[in-house]
Amino acid sequence: MQHGKYRFIVGFLALPLGLYALFVVWPFIQSIYYSFTDWTGLSPEFKMVGFDNYRRMLHDDIFWKSLQHSLLFALVLPLVTISLALFFAFMINVGGRHRRGGPVVSGVRGSSFYKIVYFFPQVLSIAIVALLFAFAYNPDSGAINSLLRGIGLDSVQPLWLGDPDLALWCVMAVLVWSTVGFFVVLFSAGMASIPAEMYEAALLDGASRFTTFFRITLPLLWDTVQSGWVYMGILALGAESFAVVQIMTTGPGGPDYSTTVMVLYVYQKAFRDGQAAYATTIGVALLVVTLAFAAIVMRLGRRERLEY
Amino acid sequence: MKTTETPAPLPAESGASVSKIDVAPAARPSGRKKEGGVLNVFSHGVLIIWAIMVVMPLLWAVMTSFKDDSSIFGSPWSLPDKLHFDNWSRAWTQANMSDYFLNTVLVVGGSLIGTLVLGSMAAYVLARFDFPGNRFIYFLFVGGMSFPIMLALVPLFYVVNNMGLLNTIHGLILVYIAYSLPFTVFFLTAFFRTLPTSVAEAAFVDGASHTRTFFQIMLPMAKPGLISVGIFNFLGQWNQYMLPTVLNTDPDKRVLTQGLVQLAVSQGYKGDWSGLFAGLVMAMLPVLAAYIVFQRQVVAGLTAGALK
């Protein structure tokens, strides 16, 4: 297999690697470099300014707000989404009634139907989901408030996205809605590979389903839960939160910057305010937050790996 | 998909619990049955509620797309008085949905083919040839999966601009390919490693070149992997919002997600909400259809992405 091997390798790698280096790797390196300049993005001239952008960032109230919101996204979203998904997945896979002659543990009736339906939102564009819910949240004529009116709750008519205290939670709820199904399917796959004998033994010993969940399912699924947590956190800090906040909230960024997140702030500084260098500085902060988040989750979540 | 696998055979250690079989079922049958009954009503209830919460907004969107403007705002939950198919035709022709659709098909078609060809070339070389730098290049590609895209987006805009590729379909295609390569290379490298070497070696001994062996022998053998990763990329590229928002500001070149968001923003002045809903549903249908047809592969591809 040696004849012409290197020519072949170079020939096959050149194009993909070149494209990847040009559009992904090179911009990454550049952005760190630009964060030390005063580049506006509008003209080609710029000069090095050292840590000026970073100093400015530390005194920027909107930056701190966006950081706070992004951290809230990275902590609350995975917690809610993964708890809900674990609960649903357990019900679907293990929560079924024991049928005579059937397997010891099984899902509820129609479990594959639930798995298919729950996954629907995951295949839709987050931009389209955000648009749809922006209509539903409309305070006067939106579906949610008119539903509340319909069941007699005329006095409860929140402004939803227009209320600075509520807007961020409304936006988060949409992300929960769109991602739970994915984790249900992910955890279902993990649960299916847990040997049924473990449940059998526990049930014979008189364990309740709550005990089985916390003593068998969760420990054996821990690796999947942990990588799901990191995955969700990265999504919540990045592209997904950008789309929902930019599309759904007024401003965009919400009343009084109540929903601004870091990635939106990067976008606005670069492409609205013509402050490309400062935008990349916030981008670097976002990278640090993302990496720190992943490292902390991996570190705190470390458990002895269970073999089965 | 993992869920269809049968559980692992009974491990020898858990055989100890077998002795309890005679005692336990007789002692606790009524208690367990009761618990199961209550829990089942509860678990079915919760599962159905979530299923409704998932399906309701989608059905609501479909229903609304057949209503006229006044009833959209007057009574959001009422059924349409008649099926206003004119919403759909108006969206298709006047609201430029046909253009957005065509642009999306071109961009996604081009990038999907490019991603699969370039991704499988790189993955093949990385999986089956030993050369200096192999590991480094592999990790360079795979590392791209965990970095926030937003950080690179600011310099990327100027890279694309300097190459004269801003606001062009082919520029968008190249960038989509570059950002799809990390996962594609990761997935296909693992896949090519699992393919038997003997067939490729036999072809090579028979005088086929490396290139020919790849295209005529290995690529057809990799078809299942290409389908999985192809669907994954199709959904991701079809739903992409952040990249076109930044790199594609020419109104004539907009893709679906972008076009819809722009329409919604400018609706304040034009006010064709029923047409907009028709457009939203139009954009949802292809991915929902693809999901229902390729349900297994979609789930396999997406869950593999999270478990990297």
What is the structure's pLDDT at B150? 78
Q: Is the pLDDT of residue B109 over 70?
A: yes
What is the structure's pLDDT at A179? 92
Say whether residue B202 is in contact with chain A using an 8 A CB cutoff.
Answer: no
Q: Is the pLDDT of residue A83 over 70?
A: yes
Phi and psi at A37, nearest 5°, equal -120, 180
Tokens for A252? 């965009």
In tens, the pLDDT along A235-272 reads 888 888 888 998 888 777 777 788 899 999 999 998 88
What is the structure's pLDDT at A97? 58
For the residues B89-97, what does the mean pLDDT come to? 84
Provide DSSP, A145-165.
HHHHHHTT-TT----GGGSTT
What is the structure's pLDDT at B207? 83
Give the angle A298-A304-A305 at the CA atoms, nearest 5°: 90
ipTM over 0.90: no
Q: Which of B43, B46, B175 to mutate to test the interface with A (most CBs of A within 10 A)?
A: B43
Q: Which range in A131-140, B75-84, B239-248 is most confidently predicted, on average pLDDT?
A: B239-248
What is the structure's pLDDT at B144? 85
Compute CA distances B178 → A25, A239, B172, B184, B307, whole Å. Answer: 10, 16, 10, 10, 21
B130, with CB counted inside 10 A (0-12, 13-18, 19+), is exposed
Q: Judge contact between A263 and B149, C-beta under 8 A.
A: no
Considering only CB atoms, which chain B residues are within 8 Å of A242?
A: 150, 242
Provide DSSP, A176-227.
HHHHHHHHHHHHHHHHHTS-HHHHHHHHHTT--HHHHIIIIIHHHHHHHHHH
**What percentage of chain B exceeds 90 in pLDDT?**
30
What is the structure's pLDDT at B308? 44
For the residues A172-181, what does the mean pLDDT come to? 93
In the numeric block, the tokens 């991915």 are attached to B287
Q: Is the pLDDT of residue B12 over 80?
A: no
What is the structure's pLDDT at A59? 94
Q: Is the pLDDT of residue A57 over 90?
A: yes
What is the structure's pLDDT at B211? 86
For the residues A40-60, what does the mean pLDDT come to? 88
What is the structure's pLDDT at B37? 60
Give the angle B262-B266-B268 at the CA atoms, nearest 5°: 145
Asked whether the beta carbons of residue A189 and residue B204 sit closer than 8 angstroms, the reply is no
What is the structure's pLDDT at A3? 61
Please give the Cα distance from B144 to B305 (Å, whole number): 13
Q: Domains in chain B, please, with CATH?
A: 102-254 (1.10.3720.10)
User: If pLDDT is split at 50, 70 and 90, which confidence band does A13 have?
Assistant: very high
Q: Judge contact between A120 and B291, C-beta under 8 A.
A: yes
Q: Domains in chain A, please, with CATH?
A: 1-35 (no CATH), 49-301 (1.10.3720.10)
Please give the Cα distance from A169 to B79 (Å, whole number): 30
**Range of weakest confidence among A293-297, B69-73, B184-188, B302-306:** B302-306
B302, with CB counted inside 10 A (0-12, 13-18, 19+), is buried
Closest in B8, B64, B308 to A195, CB measured: B8
Q: Which of B118, B151, B170, B258 to mutate to test the interface with A (most CBs of A within 10 A)?
A: B151
Please give the Cα distance from B122 to B126 (Å, whole number): 6
**Range of weakest confidence among A19-23, B7-11, B88-92, B170-174:** B7-11
For the residues B243-270, what does the mean pLDDT come to? 85
**What percentage of chain A exceeds 90 in pLDDT?**
37
- Whether the ω angle into residue A252 lies within 30 degrees of 0, i.e. cis, is yes
H and E: helices and strands count for chain A: 15, 0
Helix A218-237 crosses helix A239-248 at what angle (to 10 degrees)?
50
What is the structure's pLDDT at B204? 80
Q: Is the pLDDT of residue B13 over 60?
A: no
- Nearest-CA distance A44 → chain B (Å): 10
For the residues A47-53, what does the mean pLDDT come to? 90
More confident call, B269 vs A135:
A135
Closest in B24, B174, B258 to A205, CB measured: B24
Work out whether the CA dihedral A75, A76, A78, A79 comes out positive or negative.
positive
Asked whether the beta carbons of residue A286 and residue B209 sit closer than 8 angstroms, the reply is no
Q: Is the pLDDT of residue B36 over 60?
A: no
Q: Which of A5, A10, A204 to mutate to test the interface with B (most CBs of B within 10 A)?
A: A204
Q: Is the pLDDT of residue A121 over 70?
A: yes
In tens, the pLDDT along B209-241 reads 888 888 888 888 888 889 888 888 988 899 899
- Nearest-CA distance B102 → chain A (Å): 17
What is the structure's pLDDT at B171? 94
Measured in whole angstroms, the distance separating CA A304 from the mean position of its chain's CA atoms is 26
Residue numbers of A between 115 and 174 with CB closer than 8 Å to B: 115-128, 131-136, 140-143, 146-147, 150
Q: Which range in A6-20, A98-112, B283-297 is most confidently predicted, on average pLDDT?
A: A6-20
More confident call, A9 vs B308:
A9
What is the structure's pLDDT at B8? 38
Closest in B7, B57, B151 to A196, CB measured: B7
For the residues A14-37, what does the mean pLDDT come to? 93
Q: How many CB atoms lie within 10 A of CB B26?
A: 8
Residue numbers of B between 78 and 117 with CB closer than 8 Å to A: none
Considering only CB atoms, which chain B residues are within 8 Å of A124?
A: 239, 284, 287-288
User: If pLDDT is split at 50, 70 and 90, which confidence band does A67 have?
Assistant: very high
Give the angle B123-B196-B8 at the CA atoms, nearest 5°: 100
Q: Is the pLDDT of residue B262 over 80?
A: yes
What is the structure's pLDDT at A300? 83
Say whether residue A213 is in contact with chain B using an 8 A CB cutoff.
Answer: no
Please give the Cα distance from B232 to A178 (Å, whole number): 17
What is the structure's pLDDT at B264? 84
Please give the Cα distance from A299 to A106 (Å, whole number): 34
Provide DSSP, B231-242.
HHHHHHHHT--H
Helix B29-64 crosses helix A111-118 at what angle (to 10 degrees)?
40
In sequence order, which residues have a C-beta less than 8 Å from that of residue B95 and are 6 or more positions away? B263, B272, B275, B276, B279
Q: Is the pLDDT of residue B10 over 70?
A: no
Provide DSSP, A242-286.
HHHHHHHSSTTT-GGGTT--HHHHHHHHHHTS--HHHHHHHHHHH
For the residues A197-220, what does the mean pLDDT come to? 84
Phi and psi at B196, nearest 5°, equal -65, 145
What is the structure's pLDDT at B55? 92
Amino acid in the structure at residue B146: S
